[in-house]
């Protein structure tokens, strides 16, 4: 037996040793002379290769959605088989509407390289917004599954204040107030303030609002205005956001009276009055004529809001008014909106609207010289001056509800003071005479 083993080729014994059949000690006992260091090197090389043998690397390719492209267009252009692309998109709909993908959105498509240079589609991933990521992964041979990961979002309090020089929007921009927050501020005061006539240079505002932020500090949205104050000609008009025990949320003045009224003074954001109620020289007819409403100049497409809750009595073309809507609010009062470019989707005769609902968009239909909203208030079927009509206020808090609201006032005012610590009053050029002013409502 020894002689036969001795006649085995040395390489055969090495192979046997590598396979774990013959150890270096056993080979010496069998009379085979082999340097132990060589054997150990071979074993070490094989073990390292086995330990580091990985699955094929995933091939990640990132594509950008082109103008007018769909996700199917993107995937097929990335050489994903159409049937697999269709299955992946179907799975995606469980967590995300693929129709919301916009031009410029980056999508990473994952492949598994295979022999012969072919690739197997594994899935895709993208980040549709700063707070979440979406992924599609292969499940079996033909199926796909979807998942999403959302970042936690917290609310951060932001204080802002400013002096109005030329416009409220300019003052808000100077104080770094986001446009959406400024629009909400204007809507909240639209019940009592005519932003075209009531604001004067030197008037002031301040507010406490929320920002939505991720753990890494990325701002992903704006929350609610919690407290605001508008000082017009020295008179302060503070309002506070408050939730009643039955879950209703509204804004109230310091006395606990809801700021809501039956009708908005201004049914459009940020517009200027170009023509008031009364006699005027008609710009097209060329003679004096009673102007039975108020004109608000605004760019074409600006949203128009229902001034109050009610039922649409008329919606459609109406002579010189162009595209026209009239809303009945009660048995006595109606409002009308004219010269629209188009109507909102649900604006039709008999439809119900809530105060602040978008009913249409500014245009230049009918007999006009340019884009604007013609707004009328009708009482008993006759046009009246929107500025002179007496508008009833909303509810007034009382009892325990009022006590809770007063606690809210103190908490919000303290939060404003704590948050604005060190905040300088936003100024525009020419504010040197206000030097030393540190709080809008006390200067």
pLDDT digits (tens, 9 = 90+) for 93-133: 999 999 999 889 999 999 998 887 788 999 999 999 888 89
Residues 10, 13, 17, 18: what is their CA dihedral angle, to the nearest 10 degrees? 70
pLDDT at 37: 52
Mean pLDDT of 202-229: 91
Q: Over 70: is that where the pLDDT of 17 sits?
A: no
C-alpha 156/C-alpha 164 separation (Å) is: 26
pLDDT at 114: 84
Q: Over 60: is that where the pLDDT of 390 sits?
A: yes
> Please, which residues have CB within 8 angstroms of residue 399's CB and are 6 or more apart in sequence?
none
Which residues are registered as beta bridge partners of 120? 112
pLDDT at 426: 42
Q: Residue 27 — very low, low, confident or very high, per pLDDT cuts 50/70/90?
A: very low
Q: Over 60: is that where the pLDDT of 15 sits?
A: no
C-alpha 151/C-alpha 148 separation (Å) is: 10
The answer to whether the CB of 135 falls within 8 A of the CB of 148 is: yes
Mean pLDDT of 271-300: 70
For tokens 């908490």, the residue is 411
Q: How far separated are the first and last CA of the chain, in Å rounded?
A: 111
For tokens 């013609």, the residue is 374
Scored b (16 or more CB within 10 A) or e, 64-77 reads ebeeeeebeebbee
C-alpha 124/C-alpha 138 separation (Å) is: 9
From 420, 398, 433, 430, select the one nearest 160 (Cα to Cα).
Answer: 420
């Amino acid at each position: 037996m020894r002689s036969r083993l001795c006649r085995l080729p040395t390489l055969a014994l090495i192979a046997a040793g590598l396979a774990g059949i013959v150890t270096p000690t056993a080979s010496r006992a069998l009379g085979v002379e082999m340097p132990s260091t060589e054997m150990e090197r071979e074993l070490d090389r094989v073990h390292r290769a086995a330990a580091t043998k990985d699955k094929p690397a995933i091939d990640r390719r990132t594509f950008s959605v082109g103008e007018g492209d769909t996700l199917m267009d993107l995937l097929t252009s990335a050489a994903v088989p159409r049937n697999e692309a269709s299955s992946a998109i179907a799975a995606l709909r469980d967590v995300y509407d693929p129709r919301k993908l916009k031009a410029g959105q980056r999508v990473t498509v994952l492949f598994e390289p295979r022999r012969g240079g072919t690739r197997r589609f594994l899935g895709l991933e993208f980040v549709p917004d700063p707070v979440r990521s979406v992924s599609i992964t292969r499940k079996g041979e033909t199926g796909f599954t979807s998942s999403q990961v959302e970042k936690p979002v917290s609310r951060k309090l932001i204080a802002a204040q400013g002096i109005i020089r030329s416009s409220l929007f300019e003052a808000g921009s100077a104080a770094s107030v986001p446009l959406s927050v400024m629009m909400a501020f204007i809507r909240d005061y639209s019940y009592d303030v005519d932003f075209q006539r009531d604001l004067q240079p030197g008037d002031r505002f301040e507010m406490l609002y929320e920002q939505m932020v991720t753990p890494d500090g990325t701002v992903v949205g704006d929350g609610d205005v919690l407290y605001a104050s508008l000082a017009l000609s020295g008179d302060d008009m503070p309002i506070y956001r408050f939730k009643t025990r039955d879950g209703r949320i509204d804004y109230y003045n310091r006395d606990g009276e809801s700021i809501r009224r039956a009708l908005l003074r201004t049914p459009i954001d940020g517009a200027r009055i170009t023509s008031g109620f009364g006699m005027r020289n008609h710009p097209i007819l060329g003679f004096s004529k009673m102007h039975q409403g108020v004109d608000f100049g605004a760019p074409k497409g600006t949203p128009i809001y229902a001034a109050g809750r009610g039922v649409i009595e008329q919606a459609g073309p109406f002579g010189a008014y162009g595209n026209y809507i009239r809303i009945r609010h009660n048995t006595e009062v109606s409002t009308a909106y004219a010269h629209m470019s188009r109507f909102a989707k649900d604006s039709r005769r008999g439809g119900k609207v809530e105060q602040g609902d978008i009913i249409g968009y500014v245009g230049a239909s009918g007999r006009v010289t340019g884009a604007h909203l013609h707004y009328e208030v009708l009482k008993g079927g006759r046009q009246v001056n929107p500025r002179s009509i007496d508008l009833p206020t909303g509810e007034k808090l009382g009892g325990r509800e009022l006590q809770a609201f007063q606690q809210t006032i103190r908490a919000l005012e303290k939060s404003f003071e704590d948050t604005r610590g060190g905040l300088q009053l936003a100024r525009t050029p020419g504010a040197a005479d206000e030097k030393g002013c540190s709080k809008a409502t006390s200067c």
